[in-house]
Structure 1
């Protein structure tokens, strides 16, 4: 039901967007992941059967893990599947903690934002990319449907997004007229005070030297 999503304009913006992928990771694959945590890497378009896949993945881990971290990099997707995904996350939260993450340089656009705000701890990079626009009924138009846009804003409102920010989106025509509002993670926190992101990631990401110090190089 991509035609009923605000991500429809997004499809026009990113014609190379791929179907969403869900990849679970634990400490068995990455020793830096806490032993009680399952990381769900969610990339690409949000479309069926993502919600069912998420529920099935968690069923396999719920007995041994108490936390899910959803690592998002998505241009949005189906409004209907986003609703189903939010319901699935709510069910998981009844017995476990769910946090969300958008890394530096990653995108969270449109319907992705509604998923992101379902986390208890909502961490994002200041250099992450965010996109907001109104919901269109089909691909033939970029004129937002006010009814569908209201439903989307309610998703954000229910998750505690700032009412002042939501009102600004409407008052300035960002979600009621054709167009796209590009915002960085830093701006969401420090300019708009949107309460979408609850924690900004540190901008400095240290890395181990490569090749390791003391290892022979090609010139040696």
Structure 2
């Protein structure tokens, strides 16, 4: 069963999305679950299960390390107990976003993302020019004891003059409207792990 809405800090996140289009919530999930997800990501990376991430979509996909340097593994229900608990939490969030903001979100696509030291992802939008179904981006970080001097921030461009740096601290959830905010991943001096996903709406939904 999905987590109870009362067990997650959903209301501050939803209020932020409604008011400014983005939110940063620390300690979004229990520390024990965050640690399990980190261990799973590291184990799968060590086993060679993560593949270089591509840019673009469909036939236009390409691996371009000068733009994007992470390795990824898509996750789905039944993959592991820890991933199932994470997906349950995201399902609870999806239902609340639909109930309060009427977004028509239908599904989540999500993957582990592993950035080795020095890897980065240049400025981009998460919504494709020819496919506007990605509606809300979620990034959940798995890195304990992260220090600002280690780099690796998610830099979100709020407008022409302002940007926001979100450190990839374990337990932090960054969430934003996919088509509104350009962003990039800055290089770090240590491994940087996350679960990154996108809530997709129905093709006949009106935002």
- Which structure dedicates a bigger proportion of its chain to strand? 2
Structure with higher Rg: it is 1
Give the TM-score normalised by structure 2.
0.33
Q: Which has the higher contact order (CA 8 A, sep 6+)?
A: 2
- Which structure dedicates a bigger proportion of its chain to helix? 1
Give the TM-score normalised by structure 1.
0.31
